[in-house]
């Protein structure tokens, strides 16, 4: 009988231990807030891309982790990506003025529409790299500012 009581109490020990000490370290998802300024008009939406890896950045938006298409009101816009897991990310933005769902380019790939990326690198002859634009998201989230260029 005493042995049965001990076994019954020990059966609960792992559950109590998990409650007291945690069932394992679980990463907490947070928000990434993107504040964009410098839109020259409200024609067409902003295409805002959250990237988890360098693959495709920023020229192949179909490889972005999350895409948001947002109407522009005024010269500034704020977009929030919710429930983003901790890690390394980058953001790119296109002002899709002709609403065709992509960045239009001209001679030598120069953008014809507004664009911007996290960390606002000053590249003039090439698209910025993921490494230039990356930032870290932790449990407290992240707010980034992007200047739109034309």
**pTM exceeds 0.85 for this model:** no
* Structural domain includes residue 56: yes
* Structural domain includes residue 94: yes
**CA 38 to each of CA 70, 91, 119, 145: distance values in angstroms, whole numbers, following the listed order:** 15, 16, 15, 11
Q: What is the pLDDT of residues 97-137, one digit of tens each?
A: 999 999 999 988 899 999 999 999 999 889 999 999 999 99
Q: What is the pLDDT of residues 89-99, one digit of tens each?
A: 999 999 999 99
CATH number at residue 68: 2.60.40
* Structural domain includes residue 2: no
Domain span including residue 49: 30-147
* Structural domain includes residue 11: no
* Structural domain includes residue 17: no
CB atoms closer than 10 angstroms to residue 89: 24
Indicate the number of domains in the chain.
1
Residue 18 banded pLDDT, cuts 50, 70, 90:
very low
* Structural domain includes residue 15: no
* Structural domain includes residue 3: no
Q: What is the pLDDT of residues 134-149, one digit of tens each?
A: 999 999 999 999 999 9
């Amino acid at each position: 009988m005493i042995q049965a009581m001990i076994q019954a109490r020990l059966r609960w020990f792992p559950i109590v231990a998990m409650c007291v000490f945690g069932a394992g370290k679980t990463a907490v998802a947070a928000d990434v807030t993107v504040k964009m300024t410098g839109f020259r008009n409200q024609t067409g939406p902003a295409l805002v891309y959250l990237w988890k890896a360098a693959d495709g950045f920023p020229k192949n938006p179909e490889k972005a982790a999350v895409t948001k298409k947002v109407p522009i009101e005024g010269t500034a816009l704020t977009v929030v990506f919710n429930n983003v897991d901790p890690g390394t990310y980058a953001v790119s933005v296109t002002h899709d003025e002709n609403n065709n769902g992509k960045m239009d380019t001209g001679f030598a790939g120069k953008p014809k529409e507004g664009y911007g990326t996290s960390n606002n690198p000053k590249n003039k002859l090439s698209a910025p790299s993921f490494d230039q634009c990356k930032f870290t998201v932790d449990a407290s989230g992240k707010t980034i500012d992007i200047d739109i260029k034309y």
